Amino acid sequence: MLKQIDMSSPEFLEELEKTRKFTDKVNKNFGWVYHPEFDVVEGVQLGLARHKMLYGKRFCPCFMVEEVDGKFKSVDDRVCPCKPAIEHEIPEEGKCHCGIFCTPEFVEEYNKDKNK
């Protein structure tokens, strides 16, 4: 049975802060930026923090996590920042599947289209 997480607990809020620092560092290291919609960024960060508490890893919150031979694993082994995002999604589409990490060019185009 999956344990329950109180998202207002000090433990969760501490993990969420660690996750925010982690995603800031990922952006800096890869030259990416956050999605311009705050709700997208916040939702993914909440999911990453939740998965870290539940499963011990920041599995992508957009994919199912299952237990295999006593260990947790996500579909396509998507641990943030995941290999498919780094190698294909961001270079080819400008953003990862979850949408949190984007190229600056993607965000520029997104903002242009939104302001039309």
- C-alpha–C-alpha distance, residues 68 and 111, integer Å: 42
Domain assignment present for residue 108? The answer is: yes
| 86-111 pLDDT tens trace | 999 999 999 999 999 999 999 999 99
Helix (H, G, I), strand (E, B) or coil at 97: coil
Domain assignment present for residue 6? The answer is: no
Asked whether residue 68 carries a pLDDT value surpassing 80, the answer given is yes
| 8-50 pLDDT tens trace | 999 999 999 999 999 999 999 999 999 999 999 999 999 999 9
Could you give the angle at which helices 38-55 and 10-30 cross, rounded to 10 degrees? 120
Count structural domains, the chain: 1
Asked whether residue 1 carries a pLDDT value surpassing 60, the answer given is no
Q: Please, which pLDDT band fits residue 70 given cuts at 50, 70 and 90?
A: confident
Write the CATH number for 91: 3.90.460.10
Q: Which residue, 19, 39, 29, 46, is CA-closest to 90?
A: 29
| Domain range enclosing 39 | 24-114
